[in-house]
Amino acid sequence: MEAFYALKQSGNTDLASASLPSAPLPITSARLQTSADHLGVDGKAASDSLPANMQTPSTVGTPFPFAAALAGKHVKVDLPKPSKFSRIAVDSDIRAWLLRMHEYLTISGIEQNVWVVFASNYLDKAPLQLWEARKTQLAEQPEVLYSWDNFREWCLSSFSVHNHERHALSQLEKLRQTGTVAEYKAAHDVLAAQTTLPMQLRIFWWERGLNCHVANRLSQSSKRSGSLDDR
């Protein structure tokens, strides 16, 4: 240090300055940024790259499991298209079909005002014929025809096995012979096949629906057969 003052007093300032250690560079926060921060390992940098106004889709009124699926910001679910509903039978459950259809329509984001139009395109054979008849009947009431709640209730009442059997029984009870015996038998067999009636009741209802002339001849024939058997 004494040598330094001596040099300064001698006027040799360049030499004095050269002998002094240089000041360290200032340490800024930018120099302390690590590669981990840059990659967003702590989650901060990654979140800064997303738009600040991004909102989670509303799930109010959406049934489970769709609310859970729509709670995320990016949802992509590929569902197979619903199968066609073409027959009324024990192994063809209309409730299951309606549930699968509702899942597909919801996840696919199809607007609810066209749900009935979409779903009715997956009816076939007898159910489709009944739907076409309903369209004719409600042609002037589209708000009723294309309401999803009304469509669902109509499907349940028309295609569930229990309700369908009850409807067939009601028609069978009212069925009467108005043409030939062959025509009456064909109509009776179609309705009876949709029920679980035992054969004895089927025969009872068959005989009750015959016109009086045929029923009388059948009764007389049965009596003659019984008398022959007695001999």
DSSP output for 163-214:
HHHHHHHHHHHH----S-HHHHHHHHHHHHTTS---HHHHHHHHHHHS-HHH
Least confident span in 19-28, 79-88, 155-164? 19-28
What pLDDT does 29 receive? 42
Least confident span in 48-57, 170-179, 215-224? 48-57
Q: What is the pLDDT of residues 43-87, one digit of tens each?
A: 444 444 444 554 544 444 445 455 444 555 455 667 889 999 998
Q: What is the pLDDT of residues 88-115, one digit of tens each?
A: 776 678 999 999 999 999 999 999 999 9
What integer is the mean pLDDT of 145-154? Answer: 96
What integer is the mean pLDDT of 169-198? Answer: 87
Q: Which of 217, 215, 209, 208 is nearest to 177 (CA)?
A: 209
What pLDDT does 2 receive? 53
- Burial label for 119, CB within 10 Å (0-12, 13-18, 19+), is buried
